Amino acid sequence: MATQRKSTGVKDLDSIRKIIARHKKHDFLFASLGTLVIASLTITLLILFLDLVIDGYPQFTLDFFTNFPSRHAARAGILSAWIGSSLVLIVTFLVAVPLGVAAGIYLEEYAKKNWFSDLIEINVSNLAGVPSIIYGLLALGLFVYSFGLGQSILTAGLTLALLMLPIVIVSTREAIRAIPVHIREAAYAVGATKWQVCHNHVIQYSYGGILTGVIIGMARAIGETAPVITIGALTFIAFLPPSPIGLEPPFINFEWLKAGFTVLPIQMFNWISRPQHAFHINAAATGAVIIMLTLVMNGFAIKLRYNIRKKIKW
């Protein structure tokens, strides 16, 4: 009897070892496949980026960043485009970040878990996957025609803010969910209110994840073309909007919000559509600038998240 039990135990142990070995093999295959896919995508992006840099290298000069667009490719620059992109992103940031973070905090910490909150969650998740051209059509009907904001920097900023808002909300909620529940319980145990728990603990610990989502959303917004074309962004502009800062009191000027604009992707599209090869070189240089800005913003987000998490002690 004892010999039979021992034999059965050895068989069970061998079966467990075979199952573990099979699972380890599956894990290795999955990890290898994932590594292969990531390496392929990285190499593809690197090749495309190097191709743009090589093609546009002759235009990487100071004049290219300080000159207006021109009919002559050798004198054409991206001054109005990069300033327009900067001003549009300022509006986008000021609108999308406070609303997105506040909405994420409310949905995760304050909203009651019922069918209405579930409906909001579903809609927010779906909006994150809506094609950007839909936001452009919505902004054209709402901001341009209904509100009468015109084809301005303010309209473009609000349009990209709508595009960025679901990303900020989802990233904020995910960052808050990652906070261990015992931190909240410890704060409540010493008499903290709901807002004190959120402000002094939850938001502080989720700060890195929230900022990462914000920067990634901004990196997406800087490369969007379809929404701003839909609302009527200019393809050729040889002037700058009024300065946001004035020399006379109150030293703040809001006229720039009503000005016409162009952005880097549209300037690139304008040049690549021309038949002359010299303009294609300008387009390649502009594309390389956009990719470098995107990589810098994403790299900054990763570095910022790493530094913040390193300082956090649970």
Instruction: Please report the pLDDT score of residue 12 as a whole number.
Output: 64
Per-residue pLDDT reduced to its tens digit, 141-197: 888 888 888 888 889 889 999 888 888 888 888 888 888 888 888 888 888 888 888
pLDDT grade, residue 310 (50/70/90)? Answer: confident
- Over pLDDT 70: what percentage of the chain? 92
- Residue by residue, what is the 3-state secondary structure of 3-71? HHHHHHHHHHHHHHHHHHHHHHHHHHHHHHHHHHHHHHHHHHHHHHHHHHHHHHHHHCCHHHHHCCCCC
CATH superfamily, region 60-311: MetI-like (1.10.3720.10)
Q: Write the DSSP assignment of 107-155 as a string of letters.
A: IIIIS-SSHHHHHHHHHHHHHTTS-HHHHHHHHIIIIIIIS---SSHHH
Instruction: Please report the pLDDT score of residue 59 as a whole number.
Output: 84
Per-residue pLDDT reduced to its tens digit, 40-62: 988 988 888 888 888 888 888 88
**What crossing angle do the helices spanning 207-222 and 277-311 adopt, rounded to 10°?**
180
Instruction: Please report the pLDDT score of residue 11 as a whole number.
Output: 59
CA–CA separation, 215 vs 177, rounded Å? Answer: 19
Q: Whole-model pTM above 0.85?
A: no
Does pLDDT of 2 surpass 70? no
**Domain layout of the chain by residue ranges:** 1-58, 60-311
Instruction: Please report the pLDDT score of residue 220 as a whole number.
Output: 82
Q: Give the mean pLDDT of 56-73.
A: 85
CA–CA separation, 160 vs 92, rounded Å? Answer: 6
Instruction: Please report the pLDDT score of residue 198 as a whole number.
Output: 85
Alpha-carbon distances, residue 266 vs 26, 27, 227, 298, 305 (angstroms): 46, 45, 11, 22, 32
Specify whether the backbone of 149 is left (phi greater than 0), alpha (psi in -120 to 50) or beta. Answer: alpha
Does pLDDT of 302 surpass 80? no
Instruction: Please report the pLDDT score of residue 10 as a whole number.
Output: 57
The tokens describing 58, both together, are: 């002759």
Instruction: Please report the pLDDT score of residue 218 as a whole number.
Output: 85
pLDDT grade, residue 36 (50/70/90)? Answer: very high
CB 268 within 8 A of CB 286: yes
Q: Give the mean pLDDT of 74-100.
A: 89
The tokens describing 282, both together, are: 């300008």
CB 163 within 8 A of CB 190: no
Of the candidate ranges 7-11, 111-115, 287-291, the one whose mean pLDDT is the lowest? 7-11
CB 52 within 8 A of CB 291: yes
Alpha-carbon distances, residue 146 vs 59, 155, 158 (angstroms): 42, 12, 14
